[in-house]
Amino acid sequence: MRPSDDTRIRRATTQDAEAVAAILNESILKRDATMLGDPVSALEMARRIGGLHEKETILILEEGGVVRGWGIVRFYSDRLGYARTCETSVFVRREHTGRGLGSRIQRALLEAARTADFHHVVARIWTANQRSIAMHAKLGFTVVGTQRDVGYMDGSWIDVTIMQCLLETER
């Protein structure tokens, strides 16, 4: 099933905090895509949305007016030398994965990163999440390495694959 014709992507507002938190909490509870341990509240997510730097953004994917997924562009590091490097993350409601929504969000995030004058985009993906790795590769990301046993969740070590995408920007 493909995305419907009434799908749109827009910037998040604090009004989206409850939906964004609910989608993130699906991954937190599933323990397969984020190193966050405890679910986040809508209030905490509203603080995060409201506290973004002007170059950072959270994008919402709506289908028929319902939030189905979201993604974020955020600074990779606060160190000066990384000022043009960002990191992206994408989350889609579990019952809507496999429909191309994550790819649509990631494409929009790449455009937002380019507009914000980022040059280097990093994605950190659980190595077991081969669907996400394949989706990122399809969009121009390349694997630059795997961090073995970098995370520890619920008594198990987690490997994380690092992918990068270099944007066409002035150098």
Domain boundaries of the chain, sorted by first residue = 7-166
Helices 101-115, 130-138: axis angle to 10 degrees equals 50
Structure tokens at 63: 């289908």
pTM confidence score = 0.94
Q: State which CATH number among 3.40.630.30, 3.20.20.70, 3.90.79.10, 3.30.450.20 fits the domain covering 7-166.
A: 3.40.630.30
* CA torsion, ordered 108, 114, 115, 116, to nearest 10 deg: 110
Q: For 122-166, write each residue's pLDDT tens digit.
A: 999 999 999 999 999 999 999 999 999 999 999 999 999 999 999
